Structure 1
Amino acid sequence: MKKRLTIISALFLTFLFLNFYTLPYYVMKPGMAESLDGIIEVEGGYDEQGELMLTTVRMGEANIISYLMTKINKYYVLEPKEVIRMKNETDEEYQVRQLYYMEDSQENALQVAFKKAGKDINIKMNGIYVLSVRDDMPSSNVLRPGDRIIAIDEHTFDSSLEFTNYIQSKKVGDEIHVTFLRNNKKMTKKIAVDMIPEINKPGIGITLVEDKDVKTKPKVHFNSEKIGGPSAGLMFTLEIYNQLTEEDITKGYKIAGTGTISPDGTVGPIGGIEQKIVAADREGVELFFAPNEQGKKGSNYKMAKKTAKELKSNMKIIPIDSFDDALKYLSSLEKE
């Protein structure tokens, strides 16, 4: 009996070790493909015969078991923590950053969809949210994640692009006066402009999203608390537009996709495209929109097409560079 208890205890401890001993990696694996009509509701919006779906990946810290799974499952991928997390970023800061990205993608989707549908929308720019600060830049001694920059040299900006262009117009070594809010307290500090090595342009070394209030008529409600990141932007835009307009752009098809959305309707690349193709194929998706990245080598579209071929999927992969590209393709479809 004692020997049996020893064996059981050893097995239990081994199980705990395999499950709870974490490695300096994340494991990325296929997530889900979920219909957007349960996530987005436009008040008084039109119904659709088909489905528009977002796709996700599942991400978690690697333990020994999930590490071994990456050796036998092609679509379970190991990523070093420094690739997923910013330097010195805590779990809480990472989650906050993902939620800010999600909020930003929703606001951009509203802008693009309402403008295309010719509906009322009011946008008030409040400033720039600081998501992270590089510790090798002068701004690291001044700014913190969560600060809201409301002016530079007493200039306010209508978009993050205007903000970035203003700073990049400066020379390395120039000092700018940054006005920002932290815990509702207003401060103005000087920061020296430095060179950002990766882009070879002047900057202050922050990751940012726009802080804006977007009011629409009709109102739009999002139920996306469990989803983070910016990659659902394109599909959010298509779903909002479809509920705003009488003609059903789905034409009865099951349609999924991925890609960020900019206020001008540009669709940008995302991570985990292979895993999202797996998720979409499992759900029987017929059409999948993938960021084309202007046809560059190794684009999301090319990786998506390769993965669909490997899966022997009947799903059609469509290259997209803009929201208008997606609408043009859908308008050419025959009703199913």
Structure 2
Amino acid sequence: MNKFYIRSFILIVVIALLSFIQLPYYVTKPGMAQELRPIIQVEDGFNEEGSFMLTTVRMGKANIFTYLWAKMDEFHMIYPVKDIRRSGESDEEYTNRQLYLMEDSKESAITVAYSEAEKPINYIYRGIYVMSIIRGMPAEEVLKIGDRIYKVDGLEFQTSDEFIEYVSEKSEGEEIELTFKRNEQEMTTPLLISPFPDNPEKVGVGIALTTDREVETTPSIMIDTEKIGGPSAGLMFSLEIYNQLVEKDITNGLDIAGTGSIKDNGEVGRIGGISQKIVAADKSGVDVFFAPNEQGIPNSNYNEALAAAKKIKSEMKIVPVDTFDDALEYLESLNDN
């Protein structure tokens, strides 16, 4: 009997130790479908009979057990670290990048919804936020994640796109001067334009950027996303915000989920993990699921979503969308039937 307990104890210790050993992989699996009304509050916003929902994917570093489980479950995915994190990017830097992508997503969703509802919106630009830095590039020596660039060669830029367009016109060996703030301290530094290590035909200084702006609206809006990261909830944010801004309830009493990034012009973009999000939405009893159509390319998110829904025998209606207006037109067509 004593030997049995000793062996059992040793086995438990071994299992515990193995669970703490991380492999050079990430494992993702279906998350949940979460109603957006408790997360998004438009001042004096209109109520809805149905609901708009975001869908999530759960992700974590793999250990031997989660890795083996993922090998047996087609909706658990395994990714090498290099496929998730950028070159030289730490876990903390990756998390921060995802949180800032979420901030961008919220701002674009607000822009789309308020513009469609013809409500006032204003922007306060605070510079260009450095999200990550590529190793081996000039920026590595002088910039840090969190720096806010607001001048290049004495020129003020309001968006990261303007910065990228300006730098892309430079040639290898040219020098630019960046003016930026770090912890409220203004700093200036010269940087050489250099080829990227993994793509010598492309040149730059080696930073990933996002526009740092504040959106002011009337009526006011609060969005509490806590620790949710990434840009994939943009489309669903915009639909929920719009539905609170207008008197007509576009949910038609349905539970509506979906995914897709969104740009200020309403364009819906591709995201990762859509098959897992289909599983999450189906488990939550969703009626309609919006999926990025990507202009109908064969391997679009929409086609992936259709295949996943078929595998799990879901009765959800999978709807392809390229823009916010596509989603809105579909919902308005339901009201006409």
Please tell me the TM-score bracket, short chain as reference.
over 0.9
1:157, distance to aligned residue in structure 2 (A): 2.0
Identical aligned pairs, as a percentage?
52
The equivalences for 1:247-286 within 5 A come to: 247-286=248-287
| Partner of residue 241, structure 1 | 242
Q: How many residues align?
A: 336
The two structures, once aligned, show a CA RMSD in angstroms of 1.7
* Deviation string, structure 1 residues 17-65 (Cα, Å, up to 9, x no partner): 2321211111000000011011111110001111100000000111111
Letter in 2 for 1:324: D
**2:88–2:134: 8 Å Cα contact kept in structure 1?**
no
| Partner of residue 80, structure 1 | 80
- Structure 1: state its 5+ residue gaps: none
Instruction: Describe the SS at the equivalent of 1:38.
Output: coil
1:296, distance to aligned residue in structure 2 (A): 2.1
1:200, distance to aligned residue in structure 2 (A): 4.7
Instruction: Describe the SS at the equivalent of 1:210.
Output: strand
1:335, distance to aligned residue in structure 2 (A): 6.8
Instruction: Describe the SS at the equivalent of 2:24.
Output: strand
Instruction: Describe the SS at the equivalent of 1:144.
Output: coil
* Deviation string, structure 1 residues 164-190 (Cα, Å, up to 9, x no partner): 211112222221111111121111111
* Deviation string, structure 1 residues 109-146 (Cα, Å, up to 9, x no partner): 11111111111111011111111111132222222211
**1:29–1:57: 8 Å Cα contact kept in structure 2?**
yes
Normalising by structure 1, we get a TM-score of 0.95
**1:125–1:157: 8 Å Cα contact kept in structure 2?**
no
Q: Mark the CA change 1:2 to 1:63 in structure 2 (over 3 Å): closer, same or farther.
A: same
Letter in 2 for 1:154: G
**1:132–1:207: 8 Å Cα contact kept in structure 2?**
yes
- C-alpha distance in 2 between matches for 1:202 and 1:119: 41
1:294, distance to aligned residue in structure 2 (A): 1.8
| Partner of residue 213, structure 1 | 214
| Partner of residue 42, structure 1 | 42
| Partner of residue 193, structure 1 | 193
**1:114–1:241: 8 Å Cα contact kept in structure 2?**
yes
- C-alpha distance in 2 between matches for 1:199 and 1:280: 42
1:9, distance to aligned residue in structure 2 (A): 1.6
- C-alpha distance in 1 between matches for 2:135 and 2:267: 31
- C-alpha distance in 2 between matches for 1:285 and 1:198: 43
* Deviation string, structure 1 residues 203-253 (Cα, Å, up to 9, x no partner): 322111110011111111112103111111111111111100111111111
| Partner of residue 290, structure 1 | 291
Instruction: Describe the SS at the equivalent of 2:52.
Output: strand
- C-alpha distance in 1 between matches for 2:78 and 2:280: 18
Q: Mark the CA change 1:265 to 1:218 in structure 2 (over 3 Å): closer, same or farther.
A: same
- C-alpha distance in 2 between matches for 1:198 and 1:46: 50
| Partner of residue 154, structure 2 | 154
**1:252–1:335: 8 Å Cα contact kept in structure 2?**
no
- C-alpha distance in 1 between matches for 2:116 and 2:203: 35
Instruction: Describe the SS at the equivalent of 2:335.
Output: coil
**2:127–2:149: 8 Å Cα contact kept in structure 1?**
yes
* Deviation string, structure 1 residues 90-109 (Cα, Å, up to 9, x no partner): 22222211111111111111
- C-alpha distance in 2 between matches for 1:132 and 1:15: 36
The equivalences for 1:107-186 within 5 A come to: 107-186=107-186
Instruction: Describe the SS at the equivalent of 2:131.
Output: strand
- C-alpha distance in 2 between matches for 1:269 and 1:246: 30
| Partner of residue 308, structure 1 | 309
- Structure 2: state its 5+ residue gaps: none
Normalising by structure 2, we get a TM-score of 0.95
Q: Mark the CA change 1:297 to 1:246 in structure 2 (over 3 Å): closer, same or farther.
A: same
Q: Mark the CA change 1:199 to 1:296 in structure 2 (over 3 Å): closer, same or farther.
A: farther
- C-alpha distance in 1 between matches for 2:169 and 2:45: 44
